[in-house]
Structure 1
Amino acid sequence: MKLGLALPTMQNGWVISHTSPKFSPDWSLIKHAALTAEAYDFDFLLSTVQLVGFAGPTKHFHETADSFAIMAGLAAVTERLMLYGSIATLTTPPPLAAKQAQTISDISGGRFGLNIVSGLEKGMYSQMGIWPGDHHFSTRYDHATEYATIVRELWETGRSDFTGQYFQMDGCHLGPTPKHPIEIVCAGQSDRGTQFCAEFGDYQLAIGKLDPDEMRQWNDRLQKATAAAGRRCGMHALYTIVLRDTDAEAEEAIEDWRSNQDYETVAGLAGREYGDGDDAATKNIYYNSDTFMLSFPTIAGSAETVAEKLRALGAVEGVSGILMTFQDYRTDVERFGKEVVPLLRS
């Protein structure tokens, strides 16, 4: 089971609360988290792409780091970790994405992989005037299929004359071609998104399940699609880790964030206006949901509890890795490395 870290590339991270740790995604923090992960036997890093923040007082995601620039920097200062950088298909032409990926792969000695983001958040693109229209919600994986096809052709042959509905290449050139294979990962989890992963991905980035039996069923869908495509594709399952001295202390921390969540941001994230209607009802709805933690499945407790749960999930056939988010990247990654990794590796 590979261990992965979702880097702190977006302001204030993955818990939308007034009392959760706050940070700016500056290079020093990101570099510290990455080098700590490498020192404690993590296997891979992921940097996301986010181009617009959430409205609300905690200003979540208002500041973000560029995914490819971060991975180019980390390629030069890390030695072992696999680096997955994210590209939004609506913002970057496929030949440029192929060139950037080849360059970072070269810097890292073949440790770079490309996360293809098909573009579901309309506001992220409409702010720049590049949203193609709401039809993209239903056609985004057709668009991504052409995108990935061109990228693969350029990596493999250095040339593409692909002509499709969305892209037309005319003797498009890439040189040099990659010295090492470049993996593709993708986070599509709908039936169409899973098909895209099965056809092009080396790994699917998927929201995990807390019950191993549910995880097994969840992964089985991917494996069936992959078998139909005649390929192999693993699943890197995403979880939020809340590590404390005891299980009770971990639950207390989550309850504190829940009680002090930024309801304005959480309601907006869920498509509901806050401050215009029955605010008490809105608070009741979201107090009893996990939207304030972006609905990521949470593994909380002592080191022994966290290790036991991760070990059970990692034992599910087809689960190739665990991708983790933390709250305070200045301390949490090191604590996980010291207390949990030895239990997992033993």
Structure 2
Amino acid sequence: MAVLAAGLAVTQPVLAALVPAMVRAADLPRASALNQTAGTLGALAGPALAGVLVGEFGARLPLLVDAGSYLALVAAGLLIRTRRGGSRRADPAATGPGTATTGWRLRRDPLLVVMVGTLAAVIGAVGAINVIEVFFIRETLGSSTTVYGVVTGAWTLGIVLGGWLFARLARRLVDDGALLGAGLALLGGCCLAVLASAAVPSAALLVPIWLLGGVANGGDNVFNNLLLARRVPEASRGRAFAVFGAAVQGAGMAGFLVGGLLLELAEPRPLVAGCGVAGLLVVAAVAVPVRRAVRAERAAVARPDDRGPAVDRVAAAELATPTPSR
């Protein structure tokens, strides 16, 4: 499992970096939503297919099918045609104060530092819900495994819907500061959904609440991917997505650990409420540094000696102007 995860630590940033390289700037929000939908549907279909195969054939066949799926990923990678060398049009989607074509570092971009730090902090505060939810739904609310699957699937479905819903809005948010602020608001929506779920008397009421939470989650994912693609030079995007993924995964691991420890001390319902409150407190705490980073970003763009990046930002805005819907 560790070797497999090490491989995914390479392939996932690579695939994430390929998306903005393969589509126009104006189509990036929709492409991000499409990529997220494919991954989410796969995450939904995989366990269901595994359950059927294990029930019919045992564990060996599903593992072989899973291995085949990774080989299929290798084949798909070989089919992707990329250009190497030669002259290429400048990438207007990755121009911002402090960005450069070489030597990119996350710490040099305050807006991205705040984005990654905010998301990691919120996931760390709320992440315990991933452990607690099993006991909350199955034991506290007395639900069956089927109902548990429906409830957790509601959040996943919401992620898909949120990706497409907010992809339209993302095309209109040509200001990176506005994109960051909107993402913070959606993170607050996720935490609010977790807090509201602690008050339900039955699992059926969790479905609409978690559906809305998933919508906010999916929208925030699109905003984060778009912000990274806009501000990071193309040659450094793989590293940027790797840093971003490491922060998210590390915070998630901390949440799992905390969730397991807390279940030894308290009942699931108050812990669910505590996760929601903790997440909202983090969102409120980071609102000030987010506002400061946005102000600094806008001041840098407007500064006379930054005419180059400002002109490029206008070009990026023109490329991101919405086109008529399909």
Q: TM-score band (shorter)?
A: under 0.3
Larger helix share, 1 or 2:
2
Does 1 or 2 have the higher relative contact order (CA < 8 Å, sep 6+)?
2
TM-score (norm 1): 0.23
TM-score (norm 2): 0.24
